[in-house]
Amino acid sequence: MMQDCLFCKIANEELDTDFVYQDDKVVVFKDINPQAPVHLLIVPRKHIPTILDLKEEDKELVGYIYLLAARLAREEGIAEDGFRVVSNCNEQGGQTVFHIHFHLLGGRNLQWPPG
């Protein structure tokens, strides 16, 4: 647990956050500034600042998160139409919270240019 990390605080239930899903490895909650009708953040409980900090020992966790993303996409009803899983890294990648997380986006056409 990192003292000044927003997502550590959320995962630690120090902030009042409604979890869509939680278990011993991850918490999932709605993005405060949604970019699509479904916009969830899948956040590992482990504090890993960026994708660049992933270690061999985190391989299973990343796979776990993708399987969970697929499951949540089905549950949210966006699986068939299509969805996006995004993880931003560092400034030009658009990362603003330095605790890795995976955006699950869907419920609208995300194609660009629109297909």
Edge-first strand order for the sheet with 102-106 is 19-22, 26-30, 38-44, 102-106, 83-86
76 binds, among ligand 5GP, Zn ion, none (CB under 5 to 8 A by kind): none
The distance of closest approach from Cβ of residue 110 to ligand 5GP in the complex, given in angstroms and rounded to an integer, is 15
State the catalytic residue, choosing from 39, 47, 99, 101.
101
Please identify, using beta-carbon distances, which residue of 33 and 111 lies nearer to ligand 5GP.
33
Residue 29 is a binding residue for ligand 5GP (CB under 6 A): yes
CA distance 89 to 73: 23
- 99 is known as an active-site residue: no
The distance of closest approach from Cβ of residue 88 to ligand 5GP in the complex, given in angstroms and rounded to an integer, is 4
Please identify, using beta-carbon distances, which residue of 64 and 98 lies nearer to Zn ion.
98
Residues 36-70 as b or e (16 or more Cβ within 10 Å = b)? bebbbbbbbbeebbeeeeeeeebeebeebbeebbe
Binding site for Zn ion (CB under 5 A): 2, 5, 7-8, 47, 99
**Residues acting as catalytic residues:** 101
